[in-house]
């Protein structure tokens, strides 16, 4: 599956096409180079680094193990999918997602005050500690992570919000590959 250059001599003016693995990546006509751009329904591979506003990295997807998604199939937040449309292979872009498209807004109703004595004397109940708390729903026991956000003499306050809730997220994305939804004709 190498790359090769084709020449279409049957056009009014000859055109050159770079084809790899059956996909057209760029073509040249009338002295201009045209790069293949991602479109709705294309399957694309991207690498990215996710950062918070303060620059802290929270996720990194390398080129060796890219995220593969189909544009328009809601595999990713709409703002990210929209940003991919029109991008060419190798192009890089920074996309900002507001909290409602990321991990949601911080909800105060997901804070709960608990008695320290319910955890026993040996529990390490310090601010920042993540606990795995049990709850029952529909007769089944479930575990959910909760972060201790406040401690006092007799109680702790735990937060069930996702740690990234309430944050704007910045994705530094690079388009690695495009697979056309429909074959392109030369």
Tell me, what CATH number does 129's domain have?
A: 2.40.10.330
Asked if residue 185 belongs to a domain, the reply is no
User: If you ran DSSP here, which 8-state letter would residue 116 be given?
Assistant: G
Cα 26–Cα 28–Cα 34 angle in degrees, nearest 5:
50
Alpha-carbon distance of 29 to 75, in angstroms, equals 35
Residue 186 lies in a domain: no
Q: Are residues 55 and 19 in the same domain?
A: no
- Give the DSSP H/E element, type plus range, for residue 33: strand 32-35
pLDDT by residue, tens only, the chain of 186 residues: 344 444 444 445 544 445 555 555 555 555 565 677 899 999 999 999 999 999 999 999 999 999 999 999 999 999 999 999 999 999 999 999 999 999 999 999 999 999 999 888 778 899 999 999 888 888 898 899 999 999 999 999 999 999 999 999 999 999 999 988 665 554
**Cα angle 176, 178, 184; round to 5:** 150
| In a shared domain, residues 171 and 88 | yes
Enter the pTM of the model.
0.73
CA dihedral 37, 43, 48, 53 (to 10 degrees): 80
* Count of helices and strands (H, E) across the chain: 1, 13
Cβ atoms of residues 75 and 66 within 8 Å: no
The verdict on 56 and 144 lying in the same domain is no
Is residue 48 packed enough to be buried (19+ CB in 10 Å), middle (13-18) or exposed (0-12)? buried
Give the span between the Cα atoms of 18 and 28, in whole angstroms. 9
Decide: 44 and 67 in contact? Cβ < 8 Å.
no
CATH number of 74's domain = 3.10.50.40
Domain holding 115, by residue range, is 108-159
Assign 3-state DSSP to the chain and report helix, strand, coil percentages, each to 5.
10, 50, 45
Give the chain's domain count: 3
């Amino acid at each position: 599956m190498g790359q090769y250059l084709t020449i279409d001599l049957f056009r009014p003016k000859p055109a050159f096409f770079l084809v790899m693995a059956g996909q057209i990546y760029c073509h040249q006509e009338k002295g201009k180079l045209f790069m293949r751009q991602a479109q709705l329904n294309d399957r694309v591979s991207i690498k990215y680094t996710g950062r918070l506003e303060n620059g802290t990295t929270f996720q990194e997807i390398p080129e060796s193990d890219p995220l593969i998604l189909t544009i328009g199939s809601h595999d990713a937040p709409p703002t990210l999918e929209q940003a991919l449309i029109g991008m060419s292979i190798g192009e890089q872009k920074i996309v900002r997602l507001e909290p409602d498209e990321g991990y949601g807004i911080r909800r105060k109703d997901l804070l709960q005050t608990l008695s320290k004595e319910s955890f026993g004397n040996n529990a390490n109940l310090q601010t920042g500690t993540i606990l795995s708390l049990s709850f029952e729903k529909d007769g089944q026991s479930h575990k959910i992570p909760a972060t201790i956000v406040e401690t006092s003499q007799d109680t702790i306050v735990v937060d069930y919000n996702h740690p990234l809730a309430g944050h704007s997220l910045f994705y530094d994305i690079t388009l690695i590959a495009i697979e056309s939804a429909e074959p392109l004709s030369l």
